Amino acid sequence: MRRWGVFLLLGLFCVALIGSPGSVSAATYTSIKPFDPAYPIYWDYVWEQCVLDLPTGAPVEAVQVEVKMKVGDWGHFPNPTRIDLLCSDTTTFSASDPAYSVCSFTLSTHPNPLIFYTQTCTLRQNQISWLTNNKCINFKLVVNGGTFYLDYVKVTATAPKVATPTFSPAAGTYSSPQSVTISCTTQGATVRYTLDGNEPTESSTTYTAPVQITATKTLKAKAFKTGWTPSDTASATYTLKAAAPTFSPAAGTYSSPQSVTISCTTQGATVRYTLDGNEPTENSTTYTAPVQITATKTLEAKAFKTGWTPSDTALGTYTIEPGRAAMPWLQLLLE
């Protein structure tokens, strides 16, 4: 019983490695055909290979054929030291017609007759259509009297990739909320997006209208289409920064105390200010009424808003010189 248990586990392990035709990823479909690597093949060899899980009518952008093979003898005329791989949608092949040709194996790709080498070939566009029309395709190895051994042949069909979404306006720093339009040039694609830093998935919010950015956020978007490879993720950080406060009257030299009004164009922002030369923080005095400047002071103000970057610091020095206004008249009298 223990021995049979070991064999059963080994059998399951082999099935897991070889598998049956199955989807490798959301839009990549693979078929692996195993052979007996100890069985010698002496002449031309034909087989059919199917990618059964390829959705009917699904677009295919590329098909790769991976062949693991050992060549013991390269054969003779007319094609010594070369083995050709052909494919067809029927059992008819023509080695002289490029429409059927896939690739060739030579001494440079398989130099040692005792070693299995893996070579990957790419199907032509007409050959891809044969596969997508039937989900199956026929292959032929033209050997011309040589001897070779096959380990496996793997066919991988890859769907086209959805175009990466774009944003308008672009990422950047703004002083007001932004309404961001997301576009994708792939017709029929569904765009999903996130604002929490996570990668968009097919379960994320569907884009149906411009995204409203009302605080600093990183917007990520990804486009999906059935049977296609999802797009790359587009990412853009929108930094909302409060506008710098302004003073009225402006900084300058005055002959009397000044009542300074502080304004900020960022709606909902809280302005904090200082008169002691320190940088304003969120703990500084809140601006609620004009600041009274009765002696020479440097007024500094900064705007804050939750979820926004604080504004730049506005700074103005108000010099108060009570007798300054009479000085020009005194100068005239002296003249």
- Span 191-234, pLDDT tens digits: 999 999 999 999 999 999 999 999 999 999 999 998 899 999 99
Do 107 and 70 fall within a single domain?
Answer: yes
Do 76 and 42 fall within a single domain?
Answer: yes
> 12 lies in a domain?
no
Domain that holds residue 102: 17-158
**What pLDDT score does 95 carry?**
87
Mean pLDDT value across residues 260-269:
96
> 234 lies in a domain?
yes
> 2 lies in a domain?
no
Domain CATH for 215: 2.60.40
Mean pLDDT value across residues 235-250:
98
Rounded-to-integer distance, Cα 29 and Cα 52, Å: 9
Do 137 and 196 fall within a single domain?
Answer: no
Do 148 and 223 fall within a single domain?
Answer: no
Do 199 and 90 fall within a single domain?
Answer: no
For the chain, how many structural domains are there in total? Answer: 3
Rounded-to-integer distance, Cα 58 and Cα 54, Å: 7
Domain boundary (127, 158, 189) is at: 158
Mean pLDDT value across residues 135-139:
96
- Span 149-207, pLDDT tens digits: 999 999 999 999 999 999 999 999 999 999 999 999 999 999 999 999 999 999 999 99
pLDDT class of 56 with cuts at 50, 70, 90: confident
Do 25 and 149 fall within a single domain?
Answer: yes
**What pLDDT score does 77 carry?**
56
**What pLDDT score does 27 carry?**
80
Question: 113-119, long-range: CB within 8 Å, 24+ apart, which pairs?
Answer: 113/70, 113/71, 113/72, 113/73, 114/70, 115/70, 116/37, 116/68, 116/69, 116/70, 116/149, 116/151, 117/68, 117/69, 117/70, 118/66, 118/67, 118/68, 119/66, 119/67, 119/69
Do 181 and 269 fall within a single domain?
Answer: no
> 77 lies in a domain?
yes
β-strand partners of 193: 205, 221
Do 142 and 69 fall within a single domain?
Answer: yes
Mean pLDDT value across residues 235-256:
97
- Span 11-51, pLDDT tens digits: 333 333 333 333 334 588 999 999 999 999 988 999 999 99
301, 272 Cβ separation under 8 angstroms: yes
> 70 lies in a domain?
yes
Do 252 and 222 fall within a single domain?
Answer: no
Do 231 and 307 fall within a single domain?
Answer: no
> 54 lies in a domain?
yes
> 4 lies in a domain?
no
Domain boundary (240, 257, 278) is at: 240
Residue 9, pLDDT > 80, answer no
> 313 lies in a domain?
yes
Percent of the chain whose predicted confidence (pLDDT) is above 90: 79
Do 21 and 149 fall within a single domain?
Answer: yes
Domain CATH for 102: 2.60.120
Domain boundary (183, 205, 240) is at: 240
Average pLDDT over all residues of the chain:
88
Report how far Cα 173 is from the mean position of its chain's Cα atoms: 22
Do 192 and 104 fall within a single domain?
Answer: no
